[in-house]
Structure 1
Amino acid sequence: MKQHCGYAAIIGRPNVGKSTLLNHLIGQKLSITSRKPQTTRHRLLGIKTQDNTQFIYVDTPGLHQRQGHAMNRYLNRAAISSLVGVDVVVWVVEASKWTQEDDHVLSILRDHSSNIPVILAINKVDQLADRELLLPFIAQLQDKYSFSDIFPISALRGINLSELEQKIATYLPESEWHFPEDQLTDRSERFLVAEIVREKLIRRLGEELPYRLTVQVEHFADEEGLAHISALIWVERDSQKAIVIGKQGQLLKQVGTEAREAIVELLGRKVFLQLWVKVRAGWSDDERALRQLGYTDQER
């Protein structure tokens, strides 16, 4: 049986469910998720090998219009660069909710993917109060772009995902597999651990602070079946450090407990996790600091 292998980029504005879709397609929690926009900051490959096909899904940060901040510019570069060399694009929008940022994504698609088939995935259909609104919404979008296919889906509930994946497979070329059959991602365990810690922080903190913190794994070593991990949580001000630590250290302790449990599940071994909070003023609007903290444009 001939093998097929190729890249499918999952794109869209922030908070439409791209990472949730990736996780459900590959059948495992890989990308971190939260209700807050811009949770995804890095381009990440999710690899699924099934029968004679290897799907290489490219999860991307949400495309947005804000360019004045170094982090925002990095996020857009990471997302746009993911359109280069892919075999199919899956554009995720939210059912019956069209915004100016969706228009922005549309303009990027017109500029960067003119020769690439684009599948429109209309997500969160399970949340529609009136399903009759879906058909006119689809008709409205069909006037905006020549989509190869349109799928109403629920990434969270798994609605129509197998049908979506079957269609994605038809666009993947005949090719040898690019990765070993059992490989799940191109990212290291250190990267995934840092993302887990950041996810637990995001879910416990208020609206603004998550965008002013990042996590860097400083030490990662295995000793007799026990992973010793030390991670730094970088914030921009002393007041933010106090919030992350919490009263009598309680918030940081809770984050550490939740993160350790998730890391144990990821690594399949016992974990000793230490978290430290440090201040680096203005890191998120400093191109050099971003590079030092791991925000670099990766090439596939």
Structure 2
Amino acid sequence: MPILLVIVHLLPAAFYLAAWFASGSPAARAGAGRGGAGGADVLLALGLAAHAASLYHEVLGGGWRLGFAAILSATLWIGVIVLWVEGLRVGVQALRRLVLPVAAAASVLPLFFPGADISAQAARPLFVPHLIVGTLAYGVLALAALHALLMTATERALHGGAGPALDSPLGRFLEELPPLLVLERILFRFIAVGFAFLTLTAASGVLFSEEVFGRPFVADHKTVFSVIAWVVFGVLLIGRRLRGWRGRTALRLTLTGFALLLLAYVGSRFVLEVVLGRH
């Protein structure tokens, strides 16, 4: 394995982990209510830039290559960007400390699973726009799913009896989070943005399918699960607006929708590349 390739993928992981440690410092916690984290923000920006370079090298460095590892890596990259933007408005240091280790692991995963050559598909005009909006959809909705998991754990801890001691790690972690109503508003903001990107993904996918297969809808594994996920998130947003859905109903539908998205592409690529050994 070339040393340069290893360095390109290890750099974002190193910056993300450094930002993770910095986010837990007393100075970062003091600025959490203002949305700032000082040196952690600089390290995070460096990590995002290094991660972008690694994704470019992975996908375009030796011709178009794409697989489940690259999709996961790109998903976490978009998710960290959205998290950084949200952090400018509200304190999300606790959520940042949850996401960054996952992003660090995802950034090195393509070293071990490089994916398949898709140069032939990339030559088609509609492929790149479809890929971009699809990755954006995965990224924003991945962050929504992580946010939903955090809200679920927080709700159970706060309503599960006496609750954690304030001087325990979990107690300190919960104290740093915004109120549940604020977390819920952030969650639906993520879902709304992700649903918009998912709608664009579906629309561009129809055009791409028409160009490649001569028909607008191909009932394969990826398409079916993507459409079902789109319906789930659409129903959730309509239910929120018309019937005020919130709490456990919203969290369960969010996690269900994202699980369907994982099955739509990441799961299918994992089965082909890892289980069946096909590229």
TM-score range, shorter chain: under 0.3
Q: Given the two structures, how large is their TM-score scaled by the length of structure 2? A: 0.26
More strand by share: 1
More helix by share: 2
Normalising by structure 1, we get a TM-score of 0.24
